Amino acid sequence: MARATCALCGQQAESEDVPLTWMTSIEDGRKLVYCDRCARENVRSIEGKLDSVYW
């Protein structure tokens, strides 16, 4: 399994596990992950799509 990669900036997580500060969303049936920085900066555009576990 590949390391988690931010859907916006391409930053990769240190391991295969998605860091707790990152957020996930399901869009068009695909699971996307956002690093903590991108999630904070783009929260309005991705709000409502994020997995509530990470809020």
> The tokens of 49 are what?
């799509």
Query: Which residue has 């990470």 as its token pair?
Result: 54
Query: Is 50 exceeded by the pLDDT of residue 51?
Result: yes
Q: Residue 31: what pLDDT?
A: 87
In a domain, 53, yes or no: no
Q: Indicate yes or no: pTM above 0.75.
A: no
- What's the domain count of the chain? 1
β-strand pairing of 30-34 with 23-27 = antiparallel
What sign has the CA pseudo-torsion 49, 44, 20, 8?
A: positive
- Residues 16-32 have pLDDT tens digits of 888 888 988 887 888 88
In a domain, 55, yes or no: no
Q: Which domain holds residue 28?
A: 1-47
In a domain, 42, yes or no: yes
